[in-house]
Structure 1
Amino acid sequence: MNVMTLNDAFSIQRSVVGALIMRELHTRYGRDNVGYLWLFLEPALLSLLVALIHVGNPNSPATSIDPVPFGLIGYTTFIMFRALFTRADAVIETNTPLLYHRQVTIFDMVLARGLLELAATIVVLAVLLGAATLAGAAMPPARPLALLAGLACLWIWSFGLSLLVCAATNENRLVTKFVHPISYILLPLSGAFYMLEWLPQPYRDIMSWFPMTQMFELIRHGQFAGAEATYVQPVYLVFSCMVVLFLGLLAVRAVRRHVHIG
């Protein structure tokens, strides 16, 4: 009797997720026109437009923060969250035939999309911040590890929520109607385009308990030398991400029994 080792299981997992990523790339972007490049061009163009709005604004409260990288980081990272959150509702519906293969799971499908969005975000950030630095509109990250830690927290949070959305929308299609409105509401609440120190009390303390605002504070702390991590609570932040991820894993595991592939 052959017993699958942990290494064999990880090898199969890597192959499955890799194949799903390539399928997602081809399905979403195809080979017409700019093809796969649109994965990076779309967030790059939108982020540049947002950043340019802040250029030359003498009334900006962020006098010690360069406006171009501030806009680039805020919008590029929020795009990653929005893409994972809003596209999770169709994961099972569009990929149900793949579940005929025993090695493919709902978790693999969501993970493949999540890794694709993470890779796109990292590349776009690196390219745009590099270009802004060469143009004299930005400085290299002051604390690269803090920036990566903030981005990792945001990705785990987004991935956990995408698992919950995937499971909830499969159980009740009415939930789908609320996914996009929620993402619009979270845009101004997330902290992507403001710093907590700009807010008056008591709103500053209230918003500091929302995990996403702490994530963006940590990302900006990593990028800007003048951005302090006053409102970042690492233990609370990690705990929040782990709770959301754990609930997402439980939800996907529960919904798998209700998915009919026949």
Structure 2
Amino acid sequence: MQYGDQTSFKQSLAIQGRVINALLMREIITRYGRKNLGFLWLFVEPLLLTFFIVMMWKFLRADKVSTLNIIAFLMTGYPMAMMWRNASNRAIGSISANLSLLYHRNVRVLDTIFTRVLLEVAGASIAQILFMAVLVAIDWIPFPQDVLYMLIAWFLMAVFAFGLGLIICAIAQQIDFFGKIWGTLSFVLLPLSGAFFFVYNLPTQVQNMALWLPMIHGTEMFRHGYFGETVITYESIGFLIVSDLILLLIGLAMVRNFSKGVEPQ
């Protein structure tokens, strides 16, 4: 690569960074406002939801029916599932909410989708880190066995959330009613994501079917990083990576296809 090409690439990258940053700031202000907690709701909202679920399990004494720490089990499944679910739901309205900004030549349809998904992933990530840190500090859950493995699992599921968001947004753009029913469909997928069970505890035939779902591999991988060898998990990193790449390629192709017909208003 020649010097001129390097300079052009750096300028393009800088412009892209400014576009994403501007869209992020606009999205935060539009969604949460400038007053009171403002952008803090970005991670306070998922934090409170997870806190409510954990408290419910805690006071129902769910830990009495298993030797496994039930709160840790919940914390290693539910927040991750909510991340990709909320990201895909938010991706649906990303274009209509930013339609007027498409007049700017540097703002593309893909930028608006990426911004919304990034915001959801960031909020879920911050909430997960803070809540787990608090639970470890008050000795409700033990410290994770392999933090790096958990981070890799979270990153792969963030990529999954982006790919899924692209596809769902593209379908909703072509089929109006799909955007309205996806919330229900994603809610149905929530218990199938592995958030509330180990694959090991399923019947053998059901295990084989369940392992075709990429979300289960992410959850199993995250739990393996947390619990270590004290639990049996069936994740396949290779399968999850291939699934992420396929979703990304399909999603990018679908977005590119319908973007040509999107007119700024």
- Structure 1 length-normalised TM: 0.92
CA RMSD of aligned residues (A): 1.8
C-alpha distance in structure 2 between counterparts of 1:232 and 1:197, whole Å: 11
SS in 1 for 2:154: helix
Q: Pairwise mapping of residues 151-170 of structure 1 onto structure 2 (< 5 A)?
A: 151-170=154-173
- What do the CA deviations read for 1:67-102 (whole angstroms, capped 9, x no partner)? 223222322222211211112211111111111001
2:90 maps to a residue whose letter is: R
Q: Give the drift of 1:196.
A: 0.9
Once the two structures are TM-superposed, the CA of residue 50 in structure 1 deviates from its matched residue by: 1.4
Q: Are the structure 2 counterparts of residues 145 and 229 from structure 1 closer, same or farther at C-alpha, using a change threshold of 3 Å?
A: farther
What code does the residue aligned with 1:36 have? F
Counterpart contact for 1:47–1:71, Cα < 8 Å: no
**Aligned counterparts of 2:161 and 2:14: Cα–Cα separation in 1:** 25
State the Cα distance separating 1:60 from its structure 2 match: 3.6
Higher helix share: 2
* Pair 1:204 & 2:227 matched: no
The answer to whether the 8 A contact 2:94-2:116 is kept is no
**Separation of aligned partners in 1, 2:93 and 2:182:** 11
Q: What displacement does 1:227 show?
A: 5.1
| 1:234 is aligned to 2:237 | yes
Q: Verify the 8 A CA contact 1:220 1:227 in the aligned structure 2.
A: no
User: Secondary structure, in 3 states, of the residue corresponding to 1:87?
Assistant: helix
Residues 145-164 of structure 1 deviation map (CA, whole Å, 9 limit, x = unaligned): 11111111111111111111
1:22 alignment partner in structure 2:
25
TM normalised by structure 2 equals: 0.91
Give the alignment partner of residue 62 of structure 2, picking from 41, 54, 57.
57
After superposition, give the CA deviation of every residue in 1:25-76 in whole Å (9 maximum; x if it has no partner): 1011002332222222211111112122333224544x23x22232223222
Aligned partner of 1:249 in structure 2 is 252
* Structure 1 position 42 matched with structure 2 position 45: yes
Shift of residue 229 of structure 1? 6.2
Number of residue pairs matched by the alignment:
259
| Contact 2:221–2:235 (Cα < 8 Å) also in 1 | yes
Q: Which amino acid aligns with 1:71?
A: L
Deviations 1:1-23 (A, max 9, x none): x9771111111111100111111
1:234, distance to aligned residue in structure 2 (A): 1.6
In the aligned structure 2, how far is the partner of 1:90 from the partner of 1:227? 42
Classify 1:227/1:257 alpha carbon distance in 2 versus 1 (closer, same or farther; 3 Å): farther
Distance between the aligned counterparts of 1:84 and 1:98, measured in 2?
A: 21
Cα separation, partners in 2 of 1:81 and 1:224, compared to 1, 3 Å: same
Is 1:192 matched with 2:192? no
2:84 counterpart (81, 86, 101): 81
The 1-side partners of 2:42 and 2:76 are apart by 17
Report the counterpart of residue 176 of structure 2 in structure 1.
173
The partner residue of 1:216 within 193, 212, 219 is 219
Unaligned runs of 5+ in 1: none
The answer on whether the counterparts of 1:157 and 1:241 sit within 8 Å (CA) in structure 2 is yes
SS at match of 2:76: helix
CA gap of 1:172–1:209, structure 2 versus 1, over 3 A, is closer
Unaligned runs of 5+ in 2: none
Of residues 86, 91, 94, the one that matches 2:94 is 91
What is the distance in 2 between the residues matched to 1:12 and 1:178? 36
Counterpart code for 2:213: F
Amino acid corresponding to residue 29 of structure 2 in structure 1 = H
